Amino acid sequence: MQTEAHVPWNKDKLIGQKLPLKLEQIWAIRIHLEMLKKIRDLAMFNLAIDSKLRGCDLVSLRVKDVARNGEILERTQVIQRKTHNPVTFEICKKSREALETWLKQKQLVAPDFLFPSPRSPQDHISTRQYARIVKRWIGYINLDQCSYATHSMRRTKATLIYKQTKNLRAVQILLGHTSMASTVRYLGVEVDDALEIAERIEI
Q: How far apart are CA 165 and CA 108, in angstroms?
A: 37
At residue 83, the pLDDT reads 85
At residue 191, the pLDDT reads 56
Q: How far apart are CA 79 and CA 57, in angstroms?
A: 8
Contact 142, 157 (CB under 8 A): no
> Per residue, what are the HEC states of 27-46?
HHHHHHHHHCCCHHHHHHHH
| Residues written for the chain | 203
Q: How far apart are CA 58 and CA 35, in angstroms?
A: 24
Pairing of strands 75-79, 86-90: antiparallel
Q: CA quadruple 15, 140, 58, 130: dihedral positive or negative? A: negative
Residuewise pLDDT in 10s, the chain (203 residues): 444 455 443 444 444 578 899 999 999 999 999 999 999 999 999 999 999 999 999 999 999 999 998 899 999 999 999 889 899 999 999 999 999 999 999 999 999 999 999 888 789 999 999 999 999 999 999 999 899 999 999 989 988 888 888 888 888 888 888 888 777 777 776 555 655 655 665 55
Closest CA to 29 of 159, 196, 112, 142: 142
At residue 172, the pLDDT reads 83
Q: How far apart are CA 15 and CA 1, in angstroms?
A: 34
pTM value surpassing 0.85: no
- Domains belonging to the chain, first-starting first, are 23-200 (1.10.443.10)
